[in-house]
C-alpha cells in the first residue's frame, strides 16, 4: 500500500514563531533547548510590544515565581507582583540571555501549506515568503481592540478611546470620565483615574463580575486557581461562594451585586474574575460610581441601559480584544466560531499538522504560567513529529 503521509520537508527549515511576546519567546527557548532552530518574527521593532503599550499602573495579578518563563527566573527585586516595566525588562533580558533568534519589523500576513506539500509558507511584509518546517502562532490574546457597534457613537463629541490607548490618569485630571467595562483592565483604569484626580469617574457595568482579593492572608488567588483548575466546575463554584462572602464585602448597594452564576462557570465561558486592585474601596468610598451598561449615544450624550443619559468629557472603552487570526489562518479551517484556535499547546489541528497555537486562552491559573507550560508541550511535539525537517543548531 502506498504511503499517504506528507513528504518530509528538507532539513534546513526553521520553526517560525509568529509573535515576540512571552508566549513566542518561551516557545523559541524550548525549541532551542532541544537543539532545534526557531526564528521569532515580530511585527514591531522590539520584543514584548503589547506589554509596552499597557497602562502605567499595571502590575501582574500573578506572582513573580509563577510568572517566569522557562529557563530564567524573574529577579527577586521585582517583588511579588511585577510591574509592567519589570515584565518588559524581563522579556528583553530573556531574549538576550537565551540568544534567541528574533527578527523584528516583520509582520506575517498569511500562513499556508508549502507548495511541496511539506512544511508551511509564510507571506510576510516586504514581499517576503518564508518556508518553515512548522509554525507556532503566538500573536497574543490582546491583539486587536474590540469596540461594540454602539448606535450613534459618531454623535459623541467628547474624547473617545479604547483602553488599549490609555496610559495614565494625568490627562484626565479634573475631568468627568466614563469607563465602559468591568474586567480587570476597566476596573484598574477606573481606580487609576480616581486616584489621579479625575473630577468624576463612572464605571459602566453590564454584568456584575466576580471580585477576588489578589491575596488573602498572604495566599495569592493564583495559587487557588492552580489548585482548582482541574476540579469539576460545579464543585469549584460551590467552594468559591463562601470564600467570596468572607473576603469580599457586599457591594449591592453600590451597583455591584454578587453574581448569580458560579465563579468557575463564568471562567469556562471566558469571563475571568476581577482581582481587586483598589476597586472595592473606591466603590465603597464613592470615588468610582457604578452605572448601567452603555446602550448607545445620542445628541452627544451616552445612553445607558436604565434610560439615564450622561455627558462625560471622555469615554474609555475597556471592551476587550479579538484574536485577529482570520486573515492569518482563517482559510485553514483551524478556528472556532469565536475566532479562537480549535486546539492549543502541543496539539495541531488534525487538518493542519505542524501548526501550533499558544496564548489564546485566559486561564484562571495565570496566563504566563500557562504560556510556559505550552512552550514545553509544543517543543516536545515538534521534536517528536516535525524534527526531521527542522534546522538543527550547531553542535
Q: Which residue in 376, 300, 344, 381 sits closest to 28, CA to CA?
A: 376
Does 183 share its domain with 328? no
Give the per-residue pLDDT at 8: 52
For 282-291, write each residue's pLDDT tens digit.
999 999 999 9
Residues 182/175, Cβ–Cβ less than 8 Å = no
Are residues 192 and 241 located together in one domain of the fold?
Answer: yes
How far is Cα 334 from Cα 374, in angstroms, rounded to an integer?
18
| Residue 394: inside a domain | no
Residue 89 lies in a domain: yes
Q: Of 9, 283, 4, 296, which Cα lies nearest the Cα of 131? A: 9
CA gap 180, 155 in Å, rounded: 17
Ordered alpha helix ranges (H), the chain: 22-33, 49-52, 84-97, 184-195, 221-228, 233-247, 263-268, 279-284, 326-329, 367-385
* pLDDT tens sequence across 219-274: 999 999 999 988 999 999 999 999 899 999 999 999 999 998 999 999 888 888 99
Domain boundary among 295, 317, 339: 317
Say if residue 108's pLDDT is above 80. Answer: yes
Q: Which grid coordinates belong to 270?
A: 471566558
Q: Domain holding 36: CATH number?
A: 3.50.50.60
User: Residue 116: its pLDDT value, please?
Assistant: 85
- Summary mean pLDDT of the chain: 93
Average pLDDT of span 169-192: 97
What 3-state DSSP class applies to 189? helix
Last residue of a domain, one of 317, 342, 359: 317
Tell me the Ramachandran region of residue 272: left when phi exceeds 0, alpha when psi lies from -120 to 50, beta otherwise: beta
* Residue 1: pLDDT over 90: no
pLDDT at 6: 52
Range of the domain at 225: 146-317
Q: Give the model's pLDDT for residue 169.
A: 98
Let me know whether 45 and 91 are in one domain. Answer: yes
Q: How confident is the model at residue 3 (pLDDT cuts 50, 70, 90)?
A: very low
Same domain, 165 and 299: yes
The answer on 133 and 196 residing in a single domain is no
Number of domains in the chain: 2
* Whole-number pLDDT of residue 385: 84
Closest by alpha carbon to 206, among 259, 149, 263?
259
What is the edge-to-edge ordering of all strands in the sheet holding 289-291?
159-162, 314-317, 176-180, 200-204, 289-291
Do 282 and 274 meet the contact criterion of CB atoms below 8 Å apart?
no
Q: Are residues 165 and 109 in the same domain?
A: no
Out of 301, 317, 333, a domain closes at 317
Q: How far apart, in Å, do the first and last CA atoms of the chain sit?
A: 38
Q: Please give the Cα distance from 42 to 19 (Å, whole number).
A: 5
Whether residue 218 is found in the same domain as residue 237:
yes
Beta partners for 136?
17, 356
Q: Is residue 329 located within the same domain as residue 368? A: yes
Indicate if 191 and 126 belong to the same structural domain.
no
Separate counts of helices (H) and strands (E) for the chain = 10, 22
Q: Same domain for 94 and 161?
A: no
Residues 300 and 384 in one domain: no
- Give the pLDDT score at 361: 85
Amino acid at each position: 500500500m502506498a504511503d499517504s503521509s506528507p513528504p518530509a520537508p528538507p532539513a534546513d527549515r526553521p520553526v517560525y514563531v509568529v509573535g515576540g511576546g512571552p508566549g513566542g519567546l518561551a516557545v523559541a527557548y524550548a525549541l532551542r533547548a532541544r537543539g532545534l532552530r526557531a526564528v521569532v518574527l515580530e511585527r514591531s521593532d522590539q520584543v514584548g510590544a503589547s506589554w509596552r503599550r499597557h497602562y502605567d499602573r499595571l502590575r501582574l495579578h500573578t506572582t513573580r515565581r509563577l510568572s517566569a518563563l522557562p529557563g530564567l527566573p524573574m529577579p527577586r527585586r521585582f517583588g511579588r507582583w511585577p510591574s509592567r516595566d519589570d515584565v518588559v525588562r524581563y522579556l528583553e533580558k530573556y531574549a538576550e540571555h537565551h540568544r534567541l533568534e528574533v527578527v523584528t519589523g516583520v509582520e506575517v500576513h498569511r500562513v499556508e501549506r508549502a507548495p511541496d506539500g511539506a512544511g508551511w509558507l509564510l507571506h510576510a511584509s516586504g514581499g517576503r515568503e518564508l518556508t518553515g518546517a512548522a509554525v507556532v502562532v503566538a500573536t497574543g490574546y490582546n491583539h486587536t481592540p474590540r469596540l461594540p457597534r454602539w448606535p450613534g457613537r459618531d454623535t459623541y463629541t467628547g474624547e473617545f478611546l479604547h483602553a488599549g490607548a490609555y496610559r495614565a490618569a494625568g490627562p484626565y485630571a479634573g475631568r468627568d470620565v466614563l469607563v465602559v467595562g468591568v474586567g480587570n483592565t476597566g476596573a484598574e483604569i477606573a481606580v487609576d483615574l480616581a486616584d489621579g484626580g479625575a473630577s468624576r469617574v463612572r464605571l459602566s457595568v453590564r454584568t456584575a463580575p466576580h471580585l477576588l482579593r489578589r491575596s488573602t492572608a498572604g495566599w495569592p488567588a493564583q495559587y487557588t486557581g492552580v489548585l482548582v483548575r482541574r476540579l469539576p466546575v460545579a464543585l469549584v463554584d460551590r467552594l468559591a461562594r463562601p470564600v467570596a462572602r468572607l473576603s469580599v464585602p457586599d457591594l449591592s448597594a453600590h451597583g455591584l451585586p454578587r453574581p448569580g452564576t458560579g465563579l468557575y462557570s463564568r471562567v469556562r465561558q471566558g469571563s475571568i474574575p476581577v482581582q481587586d486592585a483598589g476597586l472595592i474601596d473606591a466603590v465603597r468610598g464613592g470615588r468610582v460610581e457604578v452605572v448601567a451598561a452603555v446602550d448607545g449615544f445620542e445628541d452627544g450624550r451616552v445612553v445607558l441601559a436604565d434610560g439615564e443619559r450622561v455627558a462625560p468629557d471622555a469615554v474609555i472603552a475597556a471592551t476587550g480584544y479579538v484574536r485577529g487570526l482570520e486573515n492569518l489562518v482563517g482559510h485553514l479551517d483551524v478556528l472556532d466560531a469565536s475566532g479562537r484556535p480549535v486546539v492549543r499547546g502541543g496539539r495541531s489541528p488534525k487538518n493542519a499538522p505542524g501548526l501550533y497555537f499558544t496564548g489564546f486562552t485566559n486561564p484562571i491559573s495565570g496566563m504566563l504560567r500557562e504560556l510556559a507550560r505550552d512552550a514545553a508541550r509544543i517543543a516536545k511535539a515538534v521534536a517528536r513529529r516535525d524534527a526531521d525537517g527542522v534546522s538543527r543548531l550547531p553542535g
